Chain A
Amino acid sequence: MANYSTNEFRSGLKVMLDGDPCSIVENEFVKPGKGQAFSRVRLKNLKTGRVWERTFKSGESLEAADVSEQNMQYLYNDGEYWHFMEPDTFDQHQADKTSVGDTALWLREQDTCIVTLYNGSPLAVAAANHVDLEITQTDPGLKGDTAQGGTKPATLSTGAVIKVPLFLNEGEIVSVDTRTGEYLNRAKK
């Protein structure tokens, strides 16, 4: 892979740091009146999600990371691996629990999600920001309570448990924000 020098650092650039693929979050150029210039860089470790801060001398370089993001269709889970397919080539990829993580709570078969590939293998999976899922278990709805008031837990078809308004019933479809796990609205079937 190519190398990137500090003057090419920009947010979103994928580089290798301490053997892990990282995405540059922010790059600040700092230089004294006379003397050595520096880049103070915040990088997100794409394996762990942790954000690192590291200072480089101007002119130093990092190796590019072979990382790409692709829209893929989620196919199924075989008990151990989650399987995804590239829509254009029909190439299939399997991702383990480490790379899927909490996203598993929002994956519905046939839905499109974003798979981050590192050296050709899935590194991370992100669901669409909003997904529509069916309520499989919740306490019976309270009629007339449509305006405001309390919430109750509801289990969705993927196993996720979210808080929903009291008036919703099992079998109904709700929209959820996958970034926060919050109920958005009732969706059409």
Chain B
Amino acid sequence: MPNDGDISTEWRPTTSNDTLIKRARLLAQVREFFALRRVLEVDVPVLGERTVSDPHLDSLYTEAPRRYLQTSPEYFMKRLLAAGSGPIYSLGKAFRAGDKGRNHNPEFTLLEWYRPDWDENQLMAEIAELLESVGCASSAGAQRVTYRDIFLATVNLDPHQASLVALAKLASDIAQRDMSDESRATCLDLIFSFEIEARLPQGIVFVHDYPACLCALAQLGVDDQGVTVVRRFEVFLDRTELANGYFELLDAAEQRRRFSEDNRQRKALGKPEMPADEKLLAALDAGLPSCAGVALGIDRLLMYLVGAQYIEEVIAFLD
């Protein structure tokens, strides 16, 4: 926790020497993991002319010239993929304004990687291997569960089929307030964050096949029950969200449509609209290879490895 303005102690790091050493070792292990698999490390800009339009992400920016601190290296990496880079990873800083809490800091360290010609199932297997190689014990192995099954098992509702009225009623009970005007996505996010996450199994858990309204930048697919799902997954480590991945959207027209929808929502929320990243769209037009990609929070992984309760225990200084 931050000190109350006593400069004689405030200058000190919020982490320990032991954790500094563990962080250095973790970063080295990640780089070795990818070097052995011939995945190329790329060092893309953190300042960009454009930024995400996702209504739930706010970017920090510089004033003159106006440049945005990237919330993830995704757009730059997709342009590299479209230009024929082959498999790539980035290990660096990302920034998200306003994200501050026990597991969040506006500046954080993100590992993001893309596997051309792979689907999300192959990528989930590789994530489990990476986690085991850096010391995440998983005697039971990583578990996989669909978003539908974990919803049914925990709150007895089918997230794809349940009516918005039923979802909003459960969300209202959880939030202790009226949520009947909220969107399906907001209700699902709330139920998942407060009811389901805390009851996930321990260890490494992959939740996959998300409802269509939680699409972000993933492709749609059809599951074994014939329901349209998003080919998106999240990784949980002892019930803390660690990573989010997709079988990546390739269709420039669909991407443009989702950007417009983002901006419609931003406007409704009173947030500034973000012009589409035309260079990303042009790269999609030129042809992004079929690929799966994932972003993984290194700080949270380190929190798990050293048993930390607060993110400041694993970063050198809190802003």
Contact = CB atoms under 8 A, between A and B. Distances in A.
Interface string A42-67: 00000000001111011100000000
User: In which size bucket is the chain B interface?
Assistant: 20 to 34
Interface of A: 7, 28-38, 40, 52-55, 57-59
A30 B244 CA distance: 16
Interface stretch (B12-20, B96-104, B119-127, B249-257): B96-104
A164 B190 CA distance: 52
A35 B185 CA distance: 8
A55 B186 CA distance: 12
Given A54-B175, A55-B177, A58-B98, A38 B190 contact: yes
Nearest to B236: A33
A30 B104 CA distance: 9
A7 B98 contact: yes
B176 interface: yes
Interface string B26-53: 0000000000000000000000000000
Given A7-B100, A37-B99, A52-B176, A32 B186 contact: no
Contacts of B186: 35-36, 57
Contact of A32 (B98, B102, B176, B189): B189
B141 to A, nearest CB: 22
B176 A30 contact: no
Given A7-B98, A57-B186, A59-B269, A32 B243 contact: no
A40 B194 contact: yes
B71 to A, nearest CB: 11
Interface of B: 54, 56, 98-102, 104, 174-177, 185-186, 189-190, 192-194, 214, 216, 232, 234, 241, 243-244, 269
Contacts of A53: 176
A36 B244 contact: no
- For B101, B175, B189, the residue with the greatest tally of chain A CB atoms inside 10 Å of its CB is B189
Contacts of B177: 54-55
Contact of B194 (A29, A30, A52, A57): A30
A59 B216 CA distance: 20
A29 B193 contact: no
Given A35-B56, A37-B56, A29 B99 contact: yes
B99 A31 contact: yes
- For A30, A35, A57, A59, the residue with the greatest tally of chain B CB atoms inside 10 Å of its CB is A35
Given A29-B99, A29-B102, A31-B99, A55 B190 contact: yes
Nearest to A7: B98
Contact of A34 (B98, B102, B216, B269): B216
B100 A36 contact: no
A38 B171 CA distance: 12
A30 B101 contact: yes
B100 A34 contact: no
5 contacts: A29-B100, A31-B101, A32-B192, A32-B234, A35-B214
A168 to B, nearest CB: 41
A36 B56 contact: yes
A34 B214 contact: yes
B101 A33 contact: no
Contacts of A7: 98, 100
B185 A28 contact: no
B181 to A, nearest CB: 11
A32 B185 CA distance: 11
Nearest to A39: B101
A36 B104 CA distance: 14
Contact of A33 (B174, B176, B243): B243
A33 B244 CA distance: 6
B101 A29 contact: yes
Given A28-B101, A35-B214, 10 more contacts: A29-B99, A32-B193, A33-B234, A33-B244, A34-B54, A34-B216, A35-B56, A35-B186, A36-B185, A55-B176
A25 B175 CA distance: 17
Nearest to B99: A31
Given A7-B98, A28-B102, A52-B176, A33 B185 contact: no
Nearest to A28: B101
A165 B243 CA distance: 62
Contacts of A33: 234, 241, 243-244
Nearest to A5: B98
Given A29-B101, A33-B241, A59-B269, A38 B193 contact: yes
